[in-house]
Structure 1
Amino acid sequence: MKMCTVRRVALPALLLPLIPLSDARADDEQTLIVTATPQAVSELDTPAAVSVVNGDDMRHAAPRVNLSESLSGVPGLQVQNRQNYAQDLQLSIRGFGSRSTYGVRGVRMYVDGIPATMPDGQGQTSNIDINSIDHIDVLRGPFSALYGNSSGGVVNVTTETGQQPATIEASSYYGSYGSWRYGLKATGAVGDGTQSGDVDYAVSTSRFATHGYRDHSGARKNLANAKLGVRLNEDSKLTLLFNSVDVKANDPGGLTYSEWQSNPRQSPRGDQYNTRKDIKQTQAGLRYERQLSEQDALSVMMYAGERQTTQYQSIPMGPQLRPSHAGGVIDLERHYQGIDTRWTHQGELGVPVTFTTGLDYENMSEKRKGFENFVMADGSPQFGEKGALRRDERNLMWNLDPYLQTQWQLTDKLTLDAGVRYSSVWFDSNDHYVRPGNADASGESSYHKWLPAGSLKYAVTDAWNLYASAGRGFETPTINEISYKTGDGLNLDLKPSTNTTVEVGSKTRIGNGLLTAALFQTDTDNEIVVDNSDGGRASYKNAGKTRRQGAELSLDQQFGENWRMTAAWTWLDATYRTDVCGDGSCNGNRIPGIARNMGFASLGYVPEAGWYAGADIRYMGDIMANDDNTAKAPSWTVVGLNTGYKFDLGKWKMDVFGRVDNLFDRQYVGSVIVNESNGRYYEPSPGRNFGVGLSLAYQFE
């Protein structure tokens, strides 16, 4: 755990979908957001619940491997390290995404405007390079619906833009369980970015490897990220983006309660089936920005990429012998691309008003194959080997979303923000594996929904704003959720969920800090939940009505000259309102995977140079593991410490640090596998662990 400084920002003309927030910063260290329009709005004026984590704070005395290291101070965000790099982090916002058995669902993610979430709503964090992050915006509440499908919340990553002087930095980290990371980053610019021909660049690459806390949990990851900007003329700029990730990771799987208690580091199924996953993803994007006039601006974002995944699961031989079973090895090849075009106009209609309209198109094609996870040797199955073909299909998913957003300055104190998006999603599947006992599972479906959102903000004083907002969102099934059901064949009966959220909030500047509070309620119809999870494969169903209601409180404060304090508390009551268990016994039960209470606090002494130190404490309430609420992961509290020394040697800068996490060696479950059919819900976290790091930078002046 590390000290995390969270900063709040504001959003002119709402949060413009798919476009990363600018990296502009005010001299007084207020965070500003600049869109294609020339105006910027101070953080205090944000009409929504949004938090910003600065990239330098994320890298401060940290391994720079997982987002879970540095996002704990964001209220409403539950991000857990599964200690399983085959399944990614477990990330949810106000309970959206908690059902995910791997990757990120229910939450939209972007890196420099390129979706890290596919058109079906399935996302991942593995391609995010912490070494090159400028800042991360985390949006919660009604306005997230304006990002379209599966936008229960939004995580928007913006990487650094190169600037003068040119700088090269090498960094490394060595920690417990054979973990190590080293990276290299170069940034710079030719010119000041305002003249034709000016160029800026930022290139970063890193390698991470670990033996893993648990048995059969070793992993290695290679990651590269690049950003190149060219000023075409005084009115337009072109930015080229590139990202690549290569992951090989073993999968330790979940444990039963008794297994966790007896030996939390064991992985009995992982060793037996040699469960693992290989991921390769490469993508590129091109962003064109042009100031058409003093009142009008145009932005176009285009991108394309491919992702290959091979996963070996712990499915026994018996079920795979059924003619319709898809096997125990998943082999996926995905190609995706998209374009988002928007136009922004500032004008007067009796009062100052800003209009932003755009069209977003995304599509994804998938070749999905399934194989048996064994071969026969001397009459016995040898698991962990790719066997006979059991599935072969081509899936397509695409969306087309026009949107309109407006901001009206009704009076000096009263502002109205309103927007609407019409989201259309199509799915089509062609089954190429048709055999006796395995009927043709081809099919198609489509989903359409109007997604409105609005907010009123009232400035009580120059330092205190109140707001109220409301919005509607929806979430379609992902391709993976459609691909499997309890039984065999496609799960085409799965319906999209729809939700309505209302929120009221307050933001007050106190000295050099910001105090925020929010109350919210979200009612959902046809909530998509885990029906069954077995051997690393989950199937899903609709659960009727659910309700999420809660409160968020946060304080980000700087005092003295070099002291920083961050505190956040989240209360989230998420329950089933209608039957999900089939006999009415689950009405009123808590939705699994969601903590009712979360708390975080950090205190640090962080001068520009010399000695620094920090401490943090994190609390997580108990988490239900199944719909019946008969199994749960107990609550826990962990403490982390860090200290280091920053050397300023003119052109050379060096940072050496050490840290300890889980100081009091608490044994706890970091995440759960929801509704795991064999009771293997628990994914343990490590006890006391240590790490040291070094970074060395040189500026060419």
Structure 2
Amino acid sequence: MDIPPFDLPAALSVVQVAPAAAGQPGVNLSEALVGVPGILARDRQNYAQDAQISIRGFGSRATFGVRSIRLYVDGIPATLPDGQGQVSHFNLDSADRVEVLRGPFSVLYGNAAGGVVQLWSAEGTPTPVTTLGMNAGSNDAFRYSVDTRGTLGPVDYNIAGSEFLSGGYRPHSRVRRESDNARFGMDLGDGKKLTIVANRLNQPISQDALGLTREQVDADPRQVASAATQYNTRKSILQNQLGAIYEQRLDSGDQWRAMGYFGQRSILQYQSIPVGVERSPLSPGGVVALDTDYGGLDTRWTHTGQLAGRDVEFVLGASIDGQRQHRRGYNNFIGNTLGVIGALRRNEDDNVDSVDEYAQWYWHFAEQWSLLLGARHDDVRFSARDLHITAINPDDSGGVSYAATTPVAGLEFRPGHDLRFYISYGKGFETPSFNELGYRSDGLPGLAFNLRPALSRHLELGAKWQITRALEFDAAAFGSDTRDELAVRTSESGRSTYQNVGDTRRQGVEFSLTGQLADSWQVSAGFTHLQARFRSAFLACRSTPCTMVTMPVAAGTRIPGVPENYGSLRIQHGSDLGWHESLDLTGVGSVTVNDTATQQAAGYGLIGMDASYTFALAASTRLQLSARVDNLGNRRYIGSVIVNDSNGRYFEPGPGRTWMLGARLVF
């Protein structure tokens, strides 16, 4: 809906993306999220597993990729219908802004929407502009990029490409990533517009150093798990995606929008599953090969007008999304040679279809009051067709369906032009992903179709204050109760199965201050206090490996991977020409790493600084030279955790002091 963020009864942060201004290389999404409350983005320093992102505690259990959060690029889903997503193809070189939505109104985005992150590419500029960038730094890191924007007649364009290489902070962490993104906007006249977005991710090598045990971290945080080198654990990824959005204004008050997209994603991952475990007739092997075709359609009608003399806006839409995945599993050995593709052990087609309908209604029903209502109905169908059938490993084909209707409502009070108070409430749901359905807890082959969806209720109270026209302070108190939360049931030799464990609660407060403090001074600050607890007692793994849950987890135990306090601050000074400096502060509290809360990672605070100088070489040509230092204090810390890791290797150490030099030429 076309409502300014300040007037929404929801916690929505909009961050303008400008990597060059902050001396950032533009490699990770977390660079753009400094100062945004509620969201915690941790770079694992392990590009085989992508970033670890959670919003108000949702998504913390993801051992790879992004779980429980909906992701979008230019309005096109980056989350598959089963709820699993990734941000590795988010291209910051072509980006204009990132939007982070938290709280009840996230549920309008459907399955697994504990929060929403959207990246929007910039439109082409009236005058063509090209940017060439190069960065080099610690751990053999190197990145080069190019972005060109402009307008050709009725078409505006923004095309970007980059390559990133790094040897990694720890041994066996080498990565090579190529990212390309192109956006074309076409004015078709008569109120019609067509936007085409194409992107490509090619990550042919990303070694996986795996996590470390507590003893290993204490001895040497830069070491690599022996299983990683023994089995040469690694992953390769190739993704191509194309999307189109057609918009047409029917009259002064009606607009129609249709979006379609299609993509292909291939993954080949070598895991460290022991040979002895793989020799079982029911083992799916230690090499995972996934070929996924996915796509969808979304169409919506928007009406704006008057009701009782007041502005009203109504949106009605429907979408369909599909995922066709061919999953194969192989042994990760041939004879005595490890880390290679061996005999076929698993072969199946895993499909997901989602059909959704949604509606939103906004009414500014009085001078100081507005109301926003919404509802969504989701039908999600999982099915699996077993293609690897033997006398010992029978046909495991099957399917399961999930459906839910999720309403949401928000009321806002405007006592003055610079102040807003609001309350919002909504219900959400989250199906298990194929990762959680993938293995049964009884050790038999086939999918875990006994798992139920997690149902949640969200409440938020918030206030927004525009201190000046360029400076805003936001505050929110929130609470989310979830029924049938998913947690680990068994964990052995790199395989985890899941169970529904009852009720959980996530509640807390968040604050942010963003904008311009004074001439040439900008601030972006966010702080979150969050209590995330299991409200129902259940049985969990006492230790790893674990084939049976025997350890009681008491009600009130912390949900693993969720810090009680975290925040970040960025202060910038400077202008387009001459010197530009910034200071970053990041603080994250301690987290437990397993359901039993028997181990934890300590909290930490980090300082980052950068400085750049921009030269005017000609009327439209500029050269920027920059230098950046992260973890200025050279602190030892755990950058991210692998929740409930089946081998007890929970900890992923963050790098010590690192530096990065950069140069950007704009013409």
TM over 0.5: yes
Q: 1:231 aligns with which of 177, 187, 209?
A: 187
- Confirm or deny: 8 A CA contact 2:32 2:98 kept in the other structure: no
Instruction: Tell me what 2:655 maps to.
Output: 686
- Confirm or deny: 8 A CA contact 1:578 1:584 kept in the other structure: no
- Confirm or deny: 8 A CA contact 1:58 1:130 kept in the other structure: no
AA matched with 1:187: R
Q: Secondary structure at the match of 2:18?
A: helix
Instruction: Tell me what 1:600 maps to.
Output: 568
AA matched with 1:239: T
1:564-583 paired onto structure 2 within 5 Å: 564-581=522-539
- Confirm or deny: 8 A CA contact 1:659 1:691 kept in the other structure: yes
AA matched with 2:233: T
Partner Cα distance (2:444, 2:653) in 1? 32
**What does the per-residue CA deviation read over 1:482-520, in whole Å, with 9 as the maximum and x for residues that have no partner?**
112332321111111010000000000112310100000
- Structure 1 window deviating more from structure 2 (58-67 vs 673-682): it is 58-67
Instruction: Tell me what 1:449 maps to.
Output: 404
- Confirm or deny: 8 A CA contact 2:34 2:525 kept in the other structure: no
Instruction: Tell me what 2:318 maps to.
Output: 359
Instruction: Tell me what 1:243 maps to.
Output: 199
> TM-score, normalized by length of structure 2?
0.96
- Confirm or deny: 8 A CA contact 1:72 1:78 kept in the other structure: no
Partner Cα distance (2:615, 2:489) in 1? 55
Q: Secondary structure at the match of 1:665?
A: coil
- Structure 1 window deviating more from structure 2 (487-496 vs 516-525): it is 487-496
**What does the per-residue CA deviation read over 1:80-108, in whole Å, with 9 as the maximum and x for residues that have no partner?**
01110000000011111111000001000
Q: Which runs of 5+ in 2 are unaligned?
A: 541-550
AA matched with 1:506: A
- Confirm or deny: 8 A CA contact 2:36 2:524 kept in the other structure: no
AA matched with 1:108: R
Q: Secondary structure at the match of 1:280?
A: strand
| TM-aligned CA deviation for residue 71 of structure 1 | 1.1
Partner Cα distance (2:592, 2:471) in 1? 35
Partner Cα distance (1:530, 1:133) in 2? 37
Q: Does 1:340 align with 2:295?
A: no
- Structure 1 window deviating more from structure 2 (636-645 vs 476-485): it is 476-485
1:611-626 paired onto structure 2 within 5 Å: 611-626=579-594
AA matched with 2:72: Y
126 and 59 in structure 1: CA distance in 2 versus 1, 3 angstrom threshold:
farther
Partner Cα distance (2:180, 2:392) in 1? 46
Partner Cα distance (1:533, 1:98) in 2? 18
AA matched with 1:658: A
1:130-279 paired onto structure 2 within 5 Å: 130-191=92-153, 198-247=154-203, 248-267=205-224, 268-279=226-237
Q: 2:91 aligns with which of 129, 154, 172?
A: 129
Q: Secondary structure at the match of 2:440?
A: coil
Q: Does 1:290 align with 2:248?
A: yes
| TM-aligned CA deviation for residue 368 of structure 1 | 0.3
| TM-aligned CA deviation for residue 679 of structure 1 | 1.6
Q: Does 1:634 align with 2:602?
A: yes
Instruction: Tell me what 2:341 maps to.
Output: 386
- Confirm or deny: 8 A CA contact 1:230 1:238 kept in the other structure: yes
Q: Secondary structure at the match of 1:130?
A: coil
AA matched with 1:203: I
Instruction: Tell me what 2:546 maps to.
Output: none
Partner Cα distance (2:627, 2:233) in 1? 33
**What does the per-residue CA deviation read over 1:645-696, in whole Å, with 9 as the maximum and x for residues that have no partner?**
0122311011110010000100000111111132210000000010111110
Instruction: Tell me what 2:369 maps to.
Output: 414
- Confirm or deny: 8 A CA contact 1:414 1:456 kept in the other structure: yes
Partner Cα distance (1:84, 1:109) in 2? 20
Q: Does 1:696 align with 2:652?
A: no
Partner Cα distance (1:349, 1:651) in 2? 50
- Confirm or deny: 8 A CA contact 2:21 2:580 kept in the other structure: no
Partner Cα distance (1:59, 1:536) in 2? 42
Partner Cα distance (2:293, 2:383) in 1? 15
Partner Cα distance (1:121, 1:665) in 2? 37
Partner Cα distance (1:180, 1:485) in 2? 43
| TM-aligned CA deviation for residue 460 of structure 1 | 1.4
User: Percent identity at matched positions?
Assistant: 41
**What does the per-residue CA deviation read over 1:41-62, in whole Å, with 9 as the maximum and x for residues that have no partner?**
4442121001111112576200
Instruction: Tell me what 1:46 maps to.
Output: 8
Q: Secondary structure at the match of 2:366?
A: coil
AA matched with 1:498: L
Partner Cα distance (1:43, 1:423) in 2? 26
Q: Which runs of 5+ in 1 are unaligned?
A: 1-12, 14-34, 36-40, 192-197
Q: Secondary structure at the match of 1:581?
A: strand
Q: Does 1:550 align with 2:508?
A: yes
- Confirm or deny: 8 A CA contact 2:304 2:313 kept in the other structure: yes
| TM-aligned CA deviation for residue 438 of structure 1 | 1.4
> TM-score, normalized by length of structure 1?
0.91
Partner Cα distance (1:520, 1:419) in 2? 19
| TM-aligned CA deviation for residue 348 of structure 1 | 2.6
- Confirm or deny: 8 A CA contact 2:495 2:646 kept in the other structure: no
Partner Cα distance (1:539, 1:651) in 2? 58
533 and 637 in structure 1: CA distance in 2 versus 1, 3 angstrom threshold:
farther
Q: Does 1:468 align with 2:420?
A: no
AA matched with 2:255: A
- Confirm or deny: 8 A CA contact 2:326 2:347 kept in the other structure: yes
Instruction: Tell me what 1:669 maps to.
Output: 638
- Confirm or deny: 8 A CA contact 2:34 2:524 kept in the other structure: no
- Structure 1 window deviating more from structure 2 (576-585 vs 165-174): it is 576-585
| TM-aligned CA deviation for residue 439 of structure 1 | 2.2
**What does the per-residue CA deviation read over 1:17-70, in whole Å, with 9 as the maximum and x for residues that have no partner?**
xxxxxxxxxxxxxxxxxx4xxxxx444212100111111257620011011223
Instruction: Tell me what 1:432 maps to.
Output: 387
642 and 506 in structure 1: CA distance in 2 versus 1, 3 angstrom threshold:
same
1:387-402 paired onto structure 2 within 5 Å: 387-402=342-357
Q: 1:370 aligns with which of 329, 339, 343?
A: 329
Partner Cα distance (2:655, 2:444) in 1? 37
AA matched with 2:635: R
59 and 298 in structure 1: CA distance in 2 versus 1, 3 angstrom threshold:
farther
Instruction: Tell me what 2:31 maps to.
Output: 69
- Structure 1 window deviating more from structure 2 (445-454 vs 644-653): it is 644-653
AA matched with 1:696: L
AA matched with 1:88: D
- Confirm or deny: 8 A CA contact 1:399 1:425 kept in the other structure: yes
Partner Cα distance (2:89, 2:372) in 1? 33
| TM-aligned CA deviation for residue 585 of structure 1 | 3.2
- Confirm or deny: 8 A CA contact 1:615 1:641 kept in the other structure: yes
| TM-aligned CA deviation for residue 537 of structure 1 | 4.1
Instruction: Tell me what 1:3 maps to.
Output: none
User: How many residue pairs are counted as aligned between the two chains?
Assistant: 650
Q: Does 1:312 align with 2:274?
A: no
